Amino acid sequence: MAITAMPVTVITGYLGSGKTTLLNRILTEAHGQKIAVIVNEFGEIGIDNQLIVGETDEEIFEMNNGCICCTVRGDLIKTLTDLYARKQDDATEFERVVIETTGLADPAPVIQTFFADPKIQKRYYPDAVITVVDSKHIDQHLDDGQEAVEQIAFADLVLLNKTDLVSPGQLSDLEGRIRKINAATRMVRTQNSQMPIDELLDIRAFDLSQKLEIDPMFLEPEYPFEWAGIYSLPSGEYKLVLQEGPDPSMRAVLVPVEAASLAALEAAQDPTMLAFSDEENGLDTGGTLTPDGRLYRLDLEPREEWFEIKIERSGNYALFTEHRPEEFGAELRGPDGPFVPVLQHEYKPNHEHDQSVTSVGLREETPLERMRFQYWLQNLLNTRGQDIFRFKGVLNVQGMDGRVVAQGVHMISSMAMDRPWEEDEPRISEMVFIGRNLDAEELRSGLSGCRIRTKVEQH
């Protein structure tokens, strides 16, 4: 039976632009289509999944690895593969997929997924990349970093959102700036991400040749590892020795390969990329790094560390490392001294985030006092608003029967009543702040200070 490929819509845009609002509009529109939704977030606490409307039959998958790019492309492949298998088994119904990326994602690696993996290419095709733009704040982010520029550069459709917050002159200037980045894209002015559904889905706007004009290396895959080397090893015991490096740990995969050749290394790349999206196996010094293709996290102290490798059968083995060996003084040592790789290759992903931009997740189990929370939040935004790109949260507020949603961008914020709490739903407050040079302890202390006071605390 012939496979009919399903359309995929990618919704991207910088933090706070209105992506989740647009997604909710798509899900609640009376279009009669079954949609599978994949949501990616930047941070360890997932809020977007909680803000997506609950009155739908759609399947929602959440990935919290930080960004859908080279580091989690394996997760995306696995999710899409699992979705297709469930559809074939009649375990779920869907006709299309919508992916909402984190505000810090470069959409290019998402689209690469549909061309780099043959099975995915047969089953899905990109329909459009839709970039939602916060008209009030986008200029600052275009000046500050590459993510906002990349999101516009790869857009098939740009929604100039929040147009009510800027003047007509500012809007015209912004449109001119966007045209300089991407002259081919269609632009539509919107408020609250309002757009007719037939102008969002099944628009067949994706043009591969146009993407290759923007980036001739577009189809060259990026990987979550920076180095790989093939060693020809007799059976025996070895040590991988590392010195103090720029990070407190380094992830690595060791896998047998058929030969000490570039072809053998390339054959191991994609399976290793998938392994890098699996659960990490943490190792302290002296732990065993097994040549089984699994992902290991080598935890390091500020001193020389070593990890044991046992080779049962002589042969060729490829070692893939998250960072380049010279960054950690890494060396493979045998009984008679160091081993040098027969062949090695460096991977240099060009997608790097501003390291000063981080996410802080907060969780509070005690109900919050509304006035105290509002005062803390307003004071925080007044003093640190320029550095807070986005915040969002679901709150348990004293005296409120339902959830309270708080969210904002820089110094603009809002709080609104949401749906009632479910009977079996934990009544806890969760927030995520994304910004530059955030003080995690200050934020945690601030939210904790908004808890309702017990009689003991009041005295």
> In terms of domains, do 246 and 100 share one?
no
CB contact at 8 A, 295 and 276: yes
Residue 44 confidence (pLDDT): 44
* Distance (Å, whole) CA 229 – CA 90: 43
Phi and psi angles of residue 310, each rounded to the nearest 5 degrees, phi first: -110, 120
378 occurs within a structural domain: yes
| Most confident region among 54-68, 237-251, 428-442 by mean pLDDT | 237-251
Same-domain pairing of 438 and 329: no
**Domain-embedded: residue 221:** no
Supply the CATH number for residue 113's domain.
3.40.50.300
Which of 71, 40, 42, 66 shows the shortest CA–CA distance to 349? 71
Identify whether 240 is part of a domain: yes
Supply the pLDDT for residue 73.
Answer: 65
- Cα 146 from chain centroid (whole Å): 16
Q: Which residues contact 265 (CB under 8 A, 6 or more apart)?
A: 228, 230, 257, 318, 343, 345
3-state secondary structure of 302: coil
Task: Give residue-wise pLDDT tens across range 130-151.
Answer: 999 999 989 888 887 778 888 8
Contact 240, 289 (CB under 8 A): yes
Share of the chain above pLDDT 70, in %: 88
pLDDT tier for residue 355 given thresholds of 50, 70 and 90: low
165, 192, 214: which is the final residue of a domain? 214
Rounded Cα distance between 452 and 320, Å, is 51
Task: State which residues form the domain around 104.
Answer: 6-214
Is the domain of 199 the same as that of 244? no
Domain end marker among 214, 244, 260: 214
Q: What is the mean pLDDT of residues 260-277?
A: 91
As a whole-number percent, the residues of the chain with pLDDT over 90 amount to 44
Residue 313 has, within 13 A of its CA and on its CB side, a CA count of 9
Strands 281-283 and 343-346, by their bridges, are unpaired
In tens, the pLDDT along 312-334 reads 999 999 999 999 999 999 999 99
Per-residue confidence (pLDDT) for residue 46, from 0 to 100: 42
> Do 379 and 317 share a domain, yes or no?
no
User: Does some domain include residue 351?
Assistant: no
User: Beta 315-321 vs 296-299: how paired, if at all?
Assistant: unpaired
Give me the chain's average pLDDT, please: 84
d(CA 409, CA 391) in angstroms, rounded, equals 7
Query: What is residue 417's predicted lDDT score, i.e. its pLDDT?
Result: 87
Number of domains in the chain: 3
Domain boundary residue among 214, 235, 263?
214
pLDDT at 30: 67
Residues 341 and 361 in one domain: no
- Residue 322 domain-assigned (yes or no): yes
Average pLDDT over residues 67-78: 62
Instruction: Provide the sign of the torsion angle of the four alpha carbons 343, 349, 355, 358, taken in this order.
Output: negative
206-220, 323-337, 411-425: least confidently modelled range: 206-220
Same domain flag for 124 and 81: yes
Q: Answer yes or no: is pLDDT of 71 > 80.
A: no
Highest mean pLDDT among 198-212, 290-304, 431-445: 290-304
* Residues 197 and 277 placed together within one structural domain of the fold: no
Residue 187 lies in a domain: yes
Q: Are residues 239 and 156 in the same domain?
A: no
Together in a domain, 184 and 297: no
- What mean pLDDT is predicted for residues 43-65? 46
What residues form DSSP beta bridges with 305?
Answer: 242
Token representation of residue 157 = 């459709």
Which residue, 364, 434, 429, is CA-closest to 17?
Answer: 434
Q: Do 139 and 246 belong to one domain?
A: no
Residues 392 and 426 reside in one and the same domain? yes
The CATH number for 371's domain is 3.30.1220.10
The answer to whether residue 24 is domain-embedded is yes
For the chain, percent helix, then strand, then coil, each to nearest 5? 30, 30, 40
CA angle 398, 42, 297 (to 5 degrees): 115
The answer to whether 71 and 49 are in contact (CB under 8 A) is no
Tell me the CB-side half-sphere exposure of residue 82, using CA atoms within 13 A: 12
Note whether residue 219 is domain-resident.
no
Cβ atoms of 319 and 228 closer than 8 Å: yes
Same domain, 316 and 187: no
